[in-house]
Protein backbone atom coordinates (compact mmCIF):
# COMPACT_ATOMS: atom_id res chain seq x y z
CA UNK A 1 0.00 0.00 0.00
CA UNK A 2 1.42 3.38 -0.97
CA UNK A 3 1.58 6.28 1.43
CA UNK A 4 -0.72 8.41 -0.75
CA UNK A 5 -3.42 5.76 -0.66
CA UNK A 6 -3.10 5.55 3.11
CA UNK A 7 -3.63 9.30 3.42
CA UNK A 8 -6.65 9.16 1.14
CA UNK A 9 -8.19 6.43 3.28
CA UNK A 10 -7.56 8.42 6.46
CA UNK A 11 -8.96 11.58 4.90
CA UNK A 12 -12.16 9.90 3.70
CA UNK A 13 -12.60 8.14 7.02
CA UNK A 14 -12.31 11.34 9.05
CA UNK A 15 -14.47 13.33 6.64
CA UNK A 16 -17.25 10.79 7.12
CA UNK A 17 -16.81 10.87 10.89
CA UNK A 18 -16.86 14.67 11.00
CA UNK A 19 -19.98 14.80 8.86
CA UNK A 20 -21.75 12.43 11.26
CA UNK A 21 -20.65 14.49 14.27
CA UNK A 22 -21.73 17.77 12.66
CA UNK A 23 -25.14 16.41 11.68
CA UNK A 24 -25.58 14.99 15.17
CA UNK A 25 -24.67 18.26 16.90
CA UNK A 26 -27.19 20.21 14.80
CA UNK A 27 -30.10 18.23 16.26
pLDDT band at 11 (very low <50, low <70, confident <90, very high): very high
Nearest to 26 by CA among 11, 6, 18, 14: 18
pLDDT for residue 12: 98
Would you kindly state where each structural domain of the chain is located, as residue ranges? 1-27
Q: How far is CA 21 from the centre of its chain?
A: 11
pLDDT band at 2 (very low <50, low <70, confident <90, very high): confident
A 10 A CB-CB count for 16 gives 10
In whole angstroms, give the CA distance from residue 27 to residue 9.
28
In whole angstroms, give the CA distance from residue 21 to residue 1.
29
Amino acid sequence: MTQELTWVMIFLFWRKKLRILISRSKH
